[in-house]
Amino acid sequence: MVGDGFGKWISSILRFLSALLVLSLILLLFINVIMRYFFHYAWPWAEEITLFGLVWMVFLGIPVLTFRNNHIRIDLIKNVLSRALFTKVELFIGVFEVFVAVLSTYYGFILVKKVAVAKQISPAAHWPVWVVSLAMPLGFLMVVPMAIISKLRLYHVWKHGLEAKEVKAEDSDYYRL
């Protein structure tokens, strides 16, 4: 379907980066714990770097979840509306989702610029705070194409009258009706 190759490619890269980040943070914390208990010294910046990594993982995960349409949602509307009406509501939500992502990207970059101009640094790691702040606008910037691809997939399924069981098995991970 439209854009699936691009979406799967970006999703794979983001998932790889998140996995690499998780492993790095686990290793960092493990070494810090060993140092604390056996050498009575710990890196004061380890927890702060871990927090920064967690922030980045959240914002790297949002585009992946958007592409796969796996965000947490309330099923009440889905259970009450007909499939056709629910699909129209879902498409409207997709337009709103793109709008919010564009606004978040725009204002996120404004925030990053303000933080960079202020030359704020983190207290323990002495890293520029704009590095952490950059996670938000970049994450939402990637949400825009992923949301568009996800909703184009939904539109394709709806337009051709496909049931969820008719969608190919490899696509079932990426869109659920």
Percent of the chain with pLDDT over 70: 90
3-state secondary structure of 100: helix
Q: How far is CA 134 from the centre of its chain?
A: 13
Average pLDDT over residues 151-160: 82
Residues 79, 107 contacting (CB under 8 angstroms): no
pLDDT reading at 41 higher than 50 = yes
Who contacts 111 (Cβ-Cβ below 8 Å, separation ≥6)? 133, 136, 137
pLDDT of res. 157: 78
Q: Which amino acid is at 103?
A: L
At residue 143's C-alpha, the angle toward residues 70 and 50, to 5°, is 80
Percentage above 90 pLDDT, the chain: 65
The amino acid at residue 173 is D
Q: Is the pLDDT assigned to residue 170 strictly greater than 80?
A: no
